[in-house]
Amino acid sequence: MILENNQALVRFFFLLILFTLAPVSASTLSSFSVPNSDFTALSNRINAIAPSRRTLDQTFQLAVASWRLGQLKTAQTLTDQLIKADFELGDSLYLKGLIHLTEVQQVNVFKKIGTAKKALKAWEQAIEADPNHILALFAVTAFYINAPSFAGGDLDAAAARLPQILALDPQYHQLAAGLIAEKQDQPERAEQLLREARTDGPDQVIMLFQLGQFYYRGDDYNRAVQTFERLQDYPLRWHHPVPSMIHLMRGMALKKQGDLQASRAMLETVREGAQNPSLKAWAEKELAGF
């Protein structure tokens, strides 16, 4: 039973981390981009500014960069400063939740559920601070969809959020409804809903990434590879999956597909180029399986 619970937690945290790599509609989070997704350069640039001279917006950007680079204690400290200063509380609390979620990977199994629930609490606080914060709402919904029941999963609670999501963003409603349908063992309806989610605009990459994951989970590796390949043609904003994450998913799908040479090359690209240590370790683990 303990082994089964641990395996369920691993699947849950893997899915939730991927589901929450999506955009937020608030202006602060969409107001800056990172050329080539180079968060190291962003961090270096802002760290060159004395803390007393940084704007709160720069502090937010540094917190994002620290989170992306796996510097979670720094990211948490900066985010707490933003919250104390009442800076864009919806955005700052949403980011706090993402940091807690990433921490789940680093704590022992006995602390994983508690740490994940800290993320859930932060997202709920973000919704209280900004009821129109679509991604905090989506993150809460994704938690209920993907968590095993012993960790707080509840499809009824997820479905109860759908009207609120629909009122804010019909495309995210399609996305959330598709994920719920998948959990309800309705793969055809799930695919239809996911394919009907936003198909244009600056965040099309998010919808395609979700669709690619759906195909991967359904063992449709050909279409998973094709979908992840499409993502290389889109400009990526700071809140989109970083290139290393896209390459990682593509490499994993190629491996399942049986194209081991292409998979190895893709995973080696991630191992050599990932700025986040967790992504680098993930690629190394996949390469060790050859």
Cα(222)–Cα(219) distance, rounded to whole angstroms? 9
Are residues 102 and 67 in contact, defined by beta-carbon separation less than 8 angstroms? Answer: yes
In a domain, 18, yes or no: no
Sign of the torsion formed by the C-alpha atoms of 160, 161, 167 and 169: negative
> With the CA atoms of 131, 245, 59 and 137 taken in that order, what torsion angle do they form, in degrees rounded to the nearest 10?
10
2 pLDDT band, cuts 50/70/90, is: very low
Chain segment 28-79, per-residue pLDDT in tens: 555 567 888 899 999 999 999 999 999 999 999 999 999 999 999 999 999 9
In a domain, 141, yes or no: no
Are residues 20 and 139 in contact, defined by beta-carbon separation less than 8 angstroms? Answer: yes
Question: Taking the model in full, what pTM does it have?
Answer: 0.89
In a domain, 244, yes or no: yes
Q: Is 72 exposed, middle or buried (0-12, 13-18, 19+ CB in 10 A)?
A: middle
In a domain, 232, yes or no: yes
In a domain, 123, yes or no: no
Averaged over 124-140, what is the pLDDT?
Answer: 93
- Name the token pair of 270: 């991630």
Name the residue range of residue 231's domain: 202-290
13 pLDDT band, cuts 50/70/90, is: low
The total of structural domains in the chain comes to: 1
- Name the token pair of 123: 């997202």
22 pLDDT band, cuts 50/70/90, is: very low
Output the domain CATH number for residue 246: 1.25.40.10
In a domain, 131, yes or no: no
Cα(27)–Cα(91) distance, rounded to whole angstroms? 9
